[in-house]
C-alpha cells in the first residue's frame, strides 16, 4: 500500500502513549498498521469507526488490572488481525462486549454496523441475564449458545478463542480460585476446540497458560527441568539441523529445516499417559522440514530415510489422509546419530500455514449475503453439532456429548467403497454406523470388519474396512449407551429411546385410563372435548397426549384422572374401587418393567406398582419386597398375563449340588439343551461337600421353567432346586 493511500485511513491523534488514552491510541494505531497489510483503506476505516463506538460505549469502565476496558477488545482484535481475519470479524471483536457489559442493544449495533456484525457480537456474548440453578448449568447453556452460533458463522468461535487467549494472558490479576476455574475450563473446552479447528499456535498457548494457572508449581518445575535439558541439547540439535540441510542441498532440494521446541503441557500429558517421570521419557529430537510442493514432500522423505534408518511402524501419512481438523504432514521417526530418536515432519508451506492457523488459514468471505464459507475440515463437525443439539435433552447433556468429540486422538476407518471416516480413539462399530448416517445407526444389526463378522461393540483400529448390516425393523438398544463414545451416536440413541418411551407411555396411559373409566361405567371415547379441555386447564398441561404419557410413566394416577374427567352428575353410585385387571403381554417396552428381585414370568400371579418416572413395575404376588406397597392402594394395580405371550423373561433358580468335577458345566449344558439362556450365575460353597449355585435364566413361562427344573432333578449330584422369589 503506497503512502498516499494510507493517508486516507483515519488515524488516532498522536499523544502521550504512557497515559491511559495514549495507550489506547497506541493500540488502535498498531492494529490499523497490521490491518493495512491485507485490508483496503475503506475496511480499515470501518474498523476504526467500530473502535470509536466501542471506546465510547466502554467509557469509564476498567479491567481488574486498572487499565481502560477498551484495551481488552482491541487486543482481541489484534490477535485476529494476526490471523488475517476479515474486517467484519475484527470489528465484531472490538465490539464483542458492548451488548453484555454496556447499555448498547443488539438493534442499535445492527443499525450502526449491519445485521451481520450484530449477529456475530450476539453469538459471542454470554447469557448473564438468565438465572440458572447452578454454575455448571449456566456454563453449559453458555457453551451451547456459543457452539450453535458457531454453526451459523464460524467467526463466532474464532472471536471467542481470541477473547479467551487474551484473558488467559492477563489472568494474573484474578484471585487463585477463580484463575484455576478459568484455566480448567480453558484446558477442558477452549484448547480442544482450537485443536479441533486446527489452530495449533493458539492451542499450544492456551494449554501452556492454562497449565501455568491451574498447576503453577508443576509447570514451573517442569519448565525449569526442560530449560536445563535444552542447554545440553542445543549442540546436538544444531548438528542434526546442519546434516539435514546439507543432505537436502546435495540432493537439490530447497527446504527449510527447523528444530522444534517442546511444550511443557504436552510433556506433562505424556508423563501422565505413560506413567513415567521426565527422566524416563525418551528424549526425542524433533525437526520440521518445509518444502514447496507435495511431490517434494515424498521425495524428501526418501532422502531422510536414506540418511537415517526409520523406526518400524512410526510412519504416518497425513497428506494422503488428513486429520479431521485439516492438518496435513508426513511424520516419521528415525534412529539418529548415536541411536538418538529423531522425529521429522515434512510439509509444504501451505500445509504449515494451515497447521498453525487451522480454519483461519482457509478463510473465505462471501461478498453476497450473510455468513461465511466454512472449510470442509470443519463443515462435517458443524453438521454433527446441529444433530447433537437437536437430539440432546438439555444444555448439560449437549456439553457432555460435544466434549467427547473434542478428544484429539483419532482412528481412520474405511467403508467398502473406500470412503474415509475419522472417529475418536475407542470408537466402536455403532459409532461408525451413526457417523455414516443416523438411520444406518438406528437400523444396525451386525457388521463386518475386514470382511469378517464382528460384534457391534468391537473397538475400531486404524485402516480397518467396516461394513454395516442393517434391518429396517431394528431399533437402537439401550445397552449401546454403555460402549459408544461419539457425541453424535450417544445423543441420537438417547433421543430415539426418549421418543420410543414417550410413545409407549402414551399407549399404556391410554389403557390404564380406559380401564379406570370402564370401572366407573364410562368409555374414554365418550368423554367430550369440553371435559378434556377442563381437565387439562385444571392440571396445567398443554395436550391430552402429555397427560396420557404422565399416567403411563406413573407420575399421575389413572383413578384420580378418571374421577376428575367424569362430572359429579355422571359418576355412578356403585362402590368405588378397581374393577378388573390390566392385561400385559410383556411387549409394552420401557414403560412396563419386570422386577429383578422376584423375576415374574408368564403364568405367575402378578401385581404392578407405579414407580414415578418409570411406569409400571411388575412383581410376583409373593415377592417379599412388596412391603409397604400392599398398604398403599393408590400405587397398587392388579394385572394379568395375556393369553398369546411370546418372548422370554428372566427369573432365578437356586441349585444345591454336591461338589464334583464338571458340576457347573453339566448343569449349564442341561439348561441350554432345554432352550434357555443363562444370563447370570453365582456360586457359594456351603459345607465343603456341596455348593449352592444361583442361576438367572430366560424362560418363556412357568411350563418352560418346570421342564428345566424337572430335567435338573434327574442329575445324581443335584440335591435341591428352588425357584428364587425375592
**Looking at the annotation, which residues are catalytic?**
100-101
Interior angle at CA 114, CA 111 and CA 116, nearest 5: 140
Task: Report the relative pairing of strands 592-594 and 466-470 from DSSP bridges.
Answer: unpaired
- 3-state class (DSSP) for residue 219: helix
Q: Which residue has 543432505 as its cell numbers?
A: 247
Q: Report the chain's terminal Cα–Cα distance, integer Å.
A: 86
> 657-666 long-range contacts, Cβ below 8 Å, gap at least 24?
657/690, 657/691, 657/693, 657/715, 657/717, 657/718, 657/719, 658/689, 658/690, 658/691, 658/717, 658/719, 659/685, 659/688, 659/689, 659/690, 659/691, 660/717, 663/691, 663/717, 664/693, 666/715
CA distance 645 to 591: 17
CA distance 119 to 141: 18
Of 589, 595, 371, 632, nearest in space to 500 by CA:
589
Per residue in 420-452, is it b (16+ CB within 10 Å) or e — as a string?
ebbbbebbbbbbbbbbbebeebbbbeebebeee
26: left (phi over 0), alpha (psi -120 to 50) or beta: alpha
Q: How far is CA 700 from CA 235, 301, 591, in A?
A: 77, 65, 20
DSSP structure class, residue 173: G
Burial of 66 (0-12, 13-18, 19+ CB in 10 A): exposed
CA distance 138 to 134: 6
Of 204, 194, 346, 198, nearest in space to 261 by CA:
204
CA distance 519 to 574: 10
Report the side by side order of strands in the sheet with 606-611.
582-584, 636-641, 606-611, 615-620, 592-594
Q: How far is CA 286 from CA 241, 281, 401, in A?
A: 10, 14, 35
CB atoms within 10 A of CB 491: 27
CA distance 412 to 518: 60
| Grid coordinates given for 455 | 460384534
The answer to whether 286 and 322 are in contact (CB under 8 A) is no
DSSP structure class, residue 328: -
Amino acid at each position: 500500500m503506497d503512502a498516499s493511500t494510507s493517508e486516507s485511513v483515519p488515524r488516532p491523534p498522536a499523544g502521550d502513549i504512557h497515559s491511559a488514552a495514549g495507550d489506547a491510541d497506541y493500540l488502535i494505531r498498531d492494529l490499523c498498521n497490521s490491518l493495512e497489510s491485507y485490508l483496503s483503506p475503506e475496511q480499515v476505516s470501518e474498523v476504526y469507526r467500530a473502535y470509536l463506538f466501542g471506546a465510547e460505549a466502554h467509557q469509564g469502565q476498567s479491567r481488574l488490572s486498572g487499565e481502560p476496558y477498551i484495551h481488552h477488545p482491541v487486543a482481541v482484535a489484534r490477535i485476529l488481525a494476526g490471523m488475517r481475519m476479515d474486517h467484519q470479524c475484527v470489528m465484531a471483536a472490538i465490539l464483542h462486549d458492548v451488548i453484555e457489559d454496556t447499555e448498547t442493544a443488539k438493534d442499535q449495533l445492527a443499525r450502526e454496523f449491519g445485521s451481520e456484525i450484530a449477529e456475530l457480537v450476539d453469538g459471542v456474548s454470554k447469557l448473564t441475564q438468565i438465572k440458572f440453578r447452578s454454575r455448571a448449568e449456566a456454563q453449559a447453556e453458555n457453551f451451547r449458545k456459543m457452539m450453535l452460533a458457531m454453526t451459523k458463522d464460524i467467526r463466532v468461535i474464532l472471536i471467542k478463542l481470541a477473547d479467551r487467549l487474551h484473558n488467559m494472558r492477563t489472568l494474573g490479576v484474578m484471585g487463585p480460585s477463580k484463575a484455576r476455574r478459568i484455566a480448567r475450563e480453558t484446558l477442558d473446552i477452549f484448547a480442544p476446540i482450537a485443536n479441533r479447528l486446527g489452530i495449533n499456535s493458539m492451542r499450544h498457548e492456551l494449554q501452556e497458560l492454562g497449565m501455568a494457572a491451574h498447576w503453577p508449581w508443576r509447570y514451573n518445575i517442569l519448565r525449569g527441568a526442560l530449560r536445563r535439558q535444552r542447554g545440553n541439547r542445543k549442540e546436538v540439535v544444531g548438528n542434526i539441523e546442519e546434516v539435514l540441510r546439507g543432505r537436502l542441498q546435495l540432493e537439490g532440494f530447497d527446504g527449510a529445516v527447523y528444530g522444534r521446541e517442546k511444550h511443557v503441557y504436552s510433556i506433562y500429558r505424556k508423563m501422565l499417559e505413560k506413567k513415567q517421570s521426565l527422566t524416563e521419557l525418551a528424549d526425542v529430537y524433533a525437526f520440521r522440514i518445509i518444502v514447496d510442493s507435495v511431490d517434494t514432500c515424498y521425495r524428501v522423505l526418501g532422502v531422510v530415510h536414506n540418511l537415517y534408518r526409520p523406526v518400524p511402524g512410526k510412519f504416518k501419512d497425513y497428506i494422503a489422509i488428513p486429520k479431521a481438523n485439516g492438518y496435513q504432514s508426513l511424520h516419521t521417526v528415525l534412529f539418529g546419530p548415536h541411536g538418538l530418536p529423531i522425529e521429522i515432519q515434512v510439509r509444504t508451506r501451505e500445509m504449515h500455514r494451515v497447521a498453525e492457523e487451522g480454519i483461519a488459514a482457509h478463510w473465505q468471505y462471501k461478498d453476497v449475503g450473510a455468513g461465511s464459507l466454512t472449510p470442509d475440515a470443519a463443515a462435517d463437525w458443524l453438521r454433527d453439532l446441529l444433530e447433537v443439539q437437536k437430539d440432546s435433552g438439555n444444555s448439560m447433556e449437549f456439553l457432555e456429548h460435544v466434549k467427547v468429540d473434542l478428544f484429539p486422538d483419532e482412528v481412520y476407518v474405511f467403508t467398502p467403497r473406500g470412503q474415509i471416516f475419522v472417529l475418536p480413539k475407542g470408537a466402536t462399530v455403532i459409532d461408525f454406523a451413526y457417523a455414516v448416517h443416523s438411520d444406518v445407526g438406528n437400523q444396525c444389526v451386525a457388521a463386518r470388519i475386514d470382511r469378517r463378522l464382528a460384534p457391534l461393540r468391537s473397538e475400531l483400529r486404524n485402516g480397518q474396512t467396516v461394513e454395516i448390516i442393517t434391518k429396517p425393523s431394528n431399533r437402537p438398544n439401550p445397552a449401546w449407551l454403555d460402549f459408544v463414545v461419539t457425541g453424535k451416536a450417544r445423543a441420537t440413541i438417547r433421543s430415539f429411546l426418549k421418543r420410543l418411551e414417550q410413545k409407549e407411555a402414551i399407549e399404556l396411559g391410554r389403557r390404564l385410563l380406559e380401564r379406570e373409566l370402564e370401572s366407573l361405567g364410562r368409555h374414554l371415547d365418550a368423554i367430550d372435548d369440553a371435559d378434556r379441555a377442563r381437565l387439562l386447564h385444571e392440571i396445567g398441561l398443554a395436550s391430552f397426549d402429555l397427560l396420557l404419557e404422565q399416567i403411563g410413566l406413573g407420575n399421575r394416577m389413572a383413578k384420580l384422572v378418571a374421577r376428575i374427567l367424569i362430572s359429579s352428575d355422571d359418576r355412578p353410585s356403585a362402590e368405588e374401587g378397581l374393577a378388573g385387571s390390566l392385561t400385559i403381554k410383556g411387549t409394552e417396552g420401557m414403560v412396563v418393567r419386570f422386577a429383578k428381585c422376584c423375576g415374574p414370568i408368564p403364568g405367575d400371579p402378578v401385581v404392578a406398582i407405579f414407580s414415578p418416572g418409570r411406569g409400571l413395575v411388575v412383581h410376583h404376588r409373593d415377592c417379599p419386597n412388596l412391603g409397604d406397597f400392599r398398604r398403599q392402594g393408590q400405587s397398587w394395580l392388579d394385572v394379568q398375563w395375556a393369553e398369546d405371550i411370546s418372548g422370554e423373561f428372566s427369573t432365578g433358580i437356586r441349585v444345591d449340588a454336591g461338589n464334583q468335577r464338571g458340576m457347573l458345566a453339566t448343569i449349564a449344558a442341561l439348561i441350554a439343551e432345554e432352550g434357555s439362556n443363562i444370563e447370570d450365575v453365582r456360586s457359594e460353597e456351603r459345607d465343603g461337600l456341596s455348593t449352592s449355585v444361583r442361576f438367572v435364566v430366560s424362560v418363556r413361562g412357568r411350563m418352560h421353567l418346570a421342564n428345566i427344573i424337572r430335567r435338573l432333578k434327574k442329575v445324581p449330584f443335584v440335591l435341591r432346586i428352588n425357584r428364587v422369589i425375592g
